[in-house]
Amino acid sequence: MVTIYVGSTAGYTGKTLVSMGLGSRFQRDGFKVGYFKPVGILPVKIDDTLTDNDAWRIYRGLNLSDPLTDLCPVVLTQELLVKSYLKDVKGLMKRIENSFKRISINKDIVIVGGYGSIYTGSFLDLQGLKVIKKLEAKVVIVVKYEGEYIADYVLQAKRDLKERFLGVILNKITPEYHKSVEEYVEPFFKRKGIDILGKVPHDSIVGSITVEELNEMLGGKVLSCHHCLGNLVEHFLIGAMQVDKAIEYFKKTRNNAVIVGGDRADIQLSAMESGSVCLILTGDLYPSEIIISRAEQKNIPIIVVREDTYSIAKKLEKLSVRLRLRDKSKVERGMKLISENVNFDLIYRKTGLRS
Amino acid sequence: MMNNFFNPKSIAVIGASRTPGKVGYDILKNLIQYGFEGAIYPINPGADNILGRKAYPSLLDVPDNIDLAVIVVPPKNVLEVINQCGAKHIDSAIIITAGFKESGIEGLKLETEIVNKAKELGMRFIGPNCLGVIDTHSKMNASFAAGMPAKGSIGFFSQSGALCLAVLDRALPDEIGFSKFISMGNKSDISDIDIMLALSEDENTKVVLGYIEGISDGKSFMEVAAKVSKKKPVIILKSGVTSSGAKAASSHTGALAGREAAFDAAFKQCGIIRVHTINDLFNYALAFANQPLPKGPDMAIITNSGGPGILAADACDKAGLQLIPLHKELVDELRTFLPPVASFYNPIDILGDSGAERYEKALLTVLKDERINGVLILLTPTATVNVEETSISIANIAKTTDRPLLTSFMGKKSIESGAKTLLRSGVPNYNYPEEAVSAINAMYRYHLWINRPEKKYHSFEGLRDKAQGIFSNAKRENRERLTELEVHDVLNAYGFNMPRSLFARTSEEAVAAAKGIGYPVVMKIISPQIIHKSDIGGVKVNLKNKKEVENAFFDITTKVKNIMPHAHIYGVLIQEMVPSGKEVIMGITKDPQFGHMIMFGLGGIYVEVLKDVSFRIVPVSQEDAYEMIRETKTFPLLRGVRGETEADIEAIEKSILILSQMAIDFPQIIEADINPLLVRKRGRGVIAIDARFAIGGD
């Protein structure tokens, strides 16, 4: 049995999607796959069993059948967080080991999902590095590619992981960074003996969010088109200019949501006419009936939020790094992306699963 | 103090011109043409004589005393002229010249210099950038307006010169009389406050009329306006109010209180009669200037056609005026001369075939009923009615009664001369019955205002000390808002009942707290980053047992973490479930011009949509509190509908007064709101369920 730990050197790099993508391809290639999340940070109760939301999605996505209670033995609820700061909570690592043992039975590969970075978790004495050693896992580091500097972190991870280090998957590479990957990072990693297991391009649909999630995150009220809450938003624009400029700007961007003051009927109309998929009205200002009925006609949900435009934009910026895989079409597209852009032969070879 | 502006013995026009069409020419011409009886000195270095008057090269060359300087020179020369005024001991000036702060930075600099210089010299001035001043009683037209209004008793001041011109032009054909006409321009020295005071003291002015775009000192404005309005009606058209420019506010109060709300509240509190159209400005002014005030709400309507009578009756009803039937004997008297199919009750329809005689008899009969406080006479120009004769009869009767008569002769061509006859005798005629009703209603409201007893202000002493520490602490920590627990303590100090609550960090603590308080309980997230808890699912109510509390703790903390991962969660607050009641919202907000205001409205989650709220400027009097509660459309809900018992309205009033006190005690409060404030049954008081305080500034 091979244990592959999917970790990172920072949070929100796309570990969940990579885990799901790896698992699904492994299954397709004929392996018996398990998934295990030692520490979860997204508490959810499934039939009264406390587990982690991301882990639950992968569990379902891969059609797994291990007992749910073992899927994620330590979930960081507010409760656990408070208690661990007030006094040391004992027995957590034991719980992880036991669950992992049960999950590994009858598996060729168990994918272990890390949380945060491989250095996170020390406050619970459950640091990623420590868990990796306990579970005797090989490690794939997922990096969100944001420029050459990430090489620095990968190097450190390799030093810390030693022989457990399998290689790195560069994720969410936007077109402007293609050259930087090819010209600097690939030759550099080669020289340092680091294998690049995958180069996954950024995909705006995978990075999109449904209007429903958006509304939940922003704590808004939906005023129209409750049946279109599944609309996917890929980009956010701020509507604060003159109408004629605004139309140009809105038209150039696919599947955009426009953030605009609730009293700017002119911008709201032009956004709807130029193909925006959602309006986010700020300042707790409600639009006129004309706007609402137009939105109904064009199937564009309108969300009213309390904060001003800048605060909402700031919130969305934070939000974009921690998108969750909820939507089925997004998941499928994401898995395909992994399958196509990760070098599975190399992984199999390095883990001895195939020669 | 402002006598020289309106009744000077001598005027110098600095910048007088020989060229027709120039402002310096028009002003001089107006002064001469409309018969100013004092001395006039044109000042122009290049002329010996203008319009038959000897001209002087400079002010300093005039040998005599000058009371008023009218300045029309280019902006860069104004300062020099002001200096000369100082040398000539002239203490009053009208600066017509434009090109000051309205034109940019350079202009602003010039204007500041002028203001400072005038202050130094002890000189007062109107303007700059204005049309001038007209006083019909001293026959002084020191303006470049085309025309001179008739002598009358309306004193008009306006921030907009263009509006002055429009009003004047509209007044000319109808010979509507004015006492004074003051174009204020940039108001850089003499302000609305000064003018209101001057008009209040002016014997020739019965009605103060104003057009205002903005004011600089809200508190003093209110103080003066409240005094003036007790003496004379003050009717103001206020423009330039938009809500969209309002700063993004973090809780309800701010979002609802644009500056419009502040002006509206301020005007109500100081007895200003506010109009929203130029038409109403005229309509009201004519009624107030010419007719006595109705001493009660009981009106009679005399009409020669059904439709307009019904419209007028509807309008009366909506305005809160009443149409009572006449005494029986007077109804019988009507029967003696009206056709049997006429309507003898109020509105009294004397039918379409009425002539002047029937109008006269009907009006005399109505006036015999002392209970009638005012009469509206409606006329549709039928073939049989003689408009001219009818108007003469009404005009004659108007002279003999101390009750207001307003007419609405409808139409245009056939009623024109009749309307003029009426107006000449002081009976204003309105195009439509609703306008007449609106005017007489304004007069009745004004009657109530001047007869209202002095406002009573409560002061709640000793409350401040208990809350002082909290505010000082927040200031020391340079915080913008008070924490949940601080809010609790402040409200407690001011005597607000609040639900019993205990803080918990874990679900075990929460269960223990719930046990202590007693089920059922409410759970609320406590985090400094979360202001509107229920928006993000941070509130659960009616938790009935241990299991529900545990689940709620998990749900709330998880949800918040998910939505706002950067928010720090202190824990949760376990509160007793309060008894049922009506939810209202109450708050303090701060207006840049008028200072703190108190807001009141129906609460709950629909407050932003309904926007059914009322405002008053602090300090709020007992009467203000009474009125602001009744002003909301949803007030009947507090009274109780469909057999409900009445809510504790007195407790709401008291809470408003306490908040007013709090705003006085702690001026650093930028915004506070209690939402919801739960109002229990009469006698059981109110409970503040949730509240927020934003602080800053001093």
| Chosen from B242, B251, B561 to mutate, greatest number of chain A CBs within 10 A | B561
Q: Token pair 């300090």 is at which residue?
A: B619
Strand, coil or helix: what is B132?
strand
- pLDDT band at residue B697, thresholds of 50, 70 and 90? low
CATH class of B582-695: alpha beta
Packing angle of the helix pair A211-218, A309-320 (nearest 10 deg) = 120
Domains in chain B: boundaries: 3-205, 287-450, 500-577, 582-695
Closest among B497, B495, B515 to B507, alpha carbons compared? B515
Put simply, whether B255 touches A (Cβ < 8 Å) is yes
Q: What is the DSSP letter of B532?
A: -
Confidence at residue B561, expressed as pLDDT on a 0 to 100 scale: 83
CA A98 to chain B, closest CA, distance in angstroms equals: 25
- Does residue B5 have a pLDDT over 90? yes
Put simply, whether B571 touches A (Cβ < 8 Å) is yes
Nearest Cβ partner of A318 from B244, B566, B609?
A: B566
Fold adopted by B500-577: Dna Ligase; domain 1 (3.30.1490)
Q: Considering only CB atoms, which chain A residues are within 8 Å of B609?
A: 286
What average pLDDT is seen over chain B?
90
- pLDDT band at residue B244, thresholds of 50, 70 and 90? very low
Same fold, B3-205 and B500-577: no
For domain A2-206+325-351, the question of CATH label 3.40.50.300 is answered with yes
Q: Considering only CB atoms, which chain A residues are within 8 Å of B535?
A: 219-220, 306
Fold adopted by A209-320: 3.40.1390
- Does residue B245 have a pLDDT over 50? no
Residues 6+ away with beta carbon under 8 Å from B430: B283, B406, B407, B408, B436, B439
* Alpha-helical segments (H) within B300-354: 306-319, 328-337
Q: How far apart are CA B352 and CA B358, in angstroms?
A: 11
Q: How far apart are CA B269 and CA B272, in angstroms?
A: 8
Residues A66, A49 contacting (CB under 8 angstroms): no
CA B436 to chain A, closest CA, distance in angstroms equals: 34
- Does residue B1 have a pLDDT over 80? no
CA A45 to chain B, closest CA, distance in angstroms equals: 9
Contact B554 A322 (CB under 8 A): no
Mean pLDDT, residues B656-670 taken together: 95
- pLDDT band at residue B246, thresholds of 50, 70 and 90? very low
Residue of B215 and B123 predicted with greater confidence: B123
pLDDT tens-digit map of B406-460? 999 998 888 999 999 999 899 999 999 999 999 999 999 999 999 988 888 888 8
Contact B507 A42 (CB under 8 A): no
* Alpha-helical segments (H) within B217-369: 218-231, 252-256, 259-269, 278-290, 306-319, 328-337, 356-368
Confidence at residue B250, expressed as pLDDT on a 0 to 100 scale: 29
Nearest Cβ partner of A82 from B506, B536, B561?
A: B506
Residues B80, B93 contacting (CB under 8 angstroms): no
Q: How far apart are CA A76 and CA B185, in angstroms?
A: 67
Confidence at residue B198, expressed as pLDDT on a 0 to 100 scale: 96
Contact B557 A78 (CB under 8 A): yes
Packing angle of the helix pair B218-231, B192-201 (nearest 10 deg) = 20
Q: Helix %, strand %, coil % for chain A, to 5?
A: 45, 20, 35
Residue of A nearest to B251 (CA): A306
Q: Considering only CB atoms, which chain A residues are within 8 Å of B254?
A: none
Domains in chain A: boundaries: 2-206+325-351, 209-320
Residue of B nearest to A220 (CA): B535
Contact B506 A43 (CB under 8 A): no
- Does residue B473 have a pLDDT over 50? yes
A interface with B, Cβ–Cβ below 8 Å: 42-45, 50, 77-79, 82-83, 216-217, 219-220, 261, 263, 282-286, 306-308, 311, 318, 322
- In angstroms, how far is CA A308 from the centroid of its own chain? 27
Residues 6+ away with beta carbon under 8 Å from B42: B12, B13, B16, B28, B50, B51, B53, B54, B55, B56
Confidence at residue B410, expressed as pLDDT on a 0 to 100 scale: 93
Q: Considering only CB atoms, which chain A residues are within 8 Å of B506?
A: 78-79, 82-83
- Phi then psi for residue B14, to 5 deg, are -85, 120
- Does residue B643 have a pLDDT over 80? no
Put simply, whether B506 touches A (Cβ < 8 Å) is yes
Residue of A nearest to B560 (CA): A217
Torsion sign across C-alpha atoms B677, B678, B682, B685? negative
Half-sphere exposure of B261 (CA within 13 A, CB side): 28
Nearest Cβ partner of A43 from B244, B532, B554?
A: B554
Residues A346, A197 contacting (CB under 8 angstroms): yes
Residue of A nearest to B505 (CA): A82
Interface A:B, Cβ pairs < 8 A: 55
| Chosen from A56, A77, A79 to mutate, greatest number of chain B CBs within 10 A | A79
Confidence at residue B609, expressed as pLDDT on a 0 to 100 scale: 66
Nearest Cβ partner of A79 from B507, B536, B562?
A: B507
Closest among A302, A319, A175 to A235, alpha carbons compared? A319
Q: Considering only CB atoms, which chain A residues are within 8 Å of B613?
A: none
Contact B563 A42 (CB under 8 A): no
Confidence at residue B252, expressed as pLDDT on a 0 to 100 scale: 34
Contact B558 A83 (CB under 8 A): no
Confidence at residue A322, expressed as pLDDT on a 0 to 100 scale: 58
pLDDT tens-digit map of B123-152? 999 999 999 999 999 999 999 998 999 999
Q: How far apart are CA A302 and CA A282, in angstroms?
A: 11
Contact B507 A82 (CB under 8 A): no
Q: Considering only CB atoms, which chain A residues are within 8 Å of B558?
A: 42-44, 77-78
Confidence at residue B130, expressed as pLDDT on a 0 to 100 scale: 94
Q: Considering only CB atoms, which chain A residues are within 8 Å of B562?
A: 42
Mean pLDDT, residues B40-68 taken together: 95
pLDDT tens-digit map of B171-198? 888 888 999 999 999 899 999 999 999 9
Contact A78 B243 (CB under 8 A): no
Single-letter amino acid, residue A191: R
- Does residue B238 have a pLDDT over 90? no
Fold adopted by B3-205: Rossmann fold (3.40.50)
Half-sphere exposure of B271 (CA within 13 A, CB side): 27
Q: Considering only CB atoms, which chain B residues are within 8 Å of A261?
A: 244
Contact A219 B566 (CB under 8 A): no
Beta-ladder partners of B497? B687
Report cis status (omega within 30 of 0) of the bond before B676. Answer: yes
Nearest Cβ partner of A45 from B532, B554, B571?
A: B554
Q: Considering only CB atoms, which chain B residues are within 8 Å of A311?
A: 248
* Alpha-helical segments (H) within B299-432: 306-319, 328-337, 356-368, 387-400, 416-424
Beta-ladder partners of A260? A281
Name the CA dihedral angle for B664, B669, B675, B681, rounded to a multiple of 10 degrees: -20
Residues B413, B338 contacting (CB under 8 angstroms): no
Residues B634, B626 contacting (CB under 8 angstroms): no
Put simply, whether B610 touches A (Cβ < 8 Å) is no
Residue of B nearest to A282 (CA): B248
CA A283 to chain B, closest CA, distance in angstroms equals: 6
Mean pLDDT by 10 residues, chain A (355 residues): 92 88 95 96 91 92 94 94 90 95 96 91 91 95 90 92 95 91 92 95 86 87 89 88 81 90 87 92 86 90 91 80 68 91 95 87
Percentage of chain B modeled with pLDDT above 90: 72
Confidence at residue A213, expressed as pLDDT on a 0 to 100 scale: 86
Closest among A106, A100, A85 to A39, alpha carbons compared? A100
Fold adopted by B287-450: Rossmann fold (3.40.50)
Closest among B434, B565, A123 to B557, alpha carbons compared? B565
Residues 6+ away with beta carbon under 8 Å from A73: A38, A92, A95, A96, A98, A99
Q: List, as one string, the DSSP characters of B175-191.
A: T-EEEEEEE-TT-SSS-
Contact B505 A261 (CB under 8 A): no
- φ/ψ region of A105 (left if φ > 0, alpha if ψ in -120 to 50, else beta) reads beta
Nearest Cβ partner of A263 from B244, B562, B569?
A: B244
Residues 6+ away with beta carbon under 8 Å from B111: B100, B101, B128, B186, B188
Residue of B nearest to A54 (CA): B562
Residue of A nearest to B558 (CA): A43
Residues B366, B326 contacting (CB under 8 angstroms): yes
Nearest Cβ partner of B536 from A42, A219, A286?
A: A219
Q: Considering only CB atoms, which chain B residues are within 8 Å of A282?
A: 248
Residue B512 burial class via C-beta count within 10 angstroms: exposed 0-12, middle 13-18, buried 19 and up: middle
Nearest Cβ partner of B506 from A50, A83, A216?
A: A83
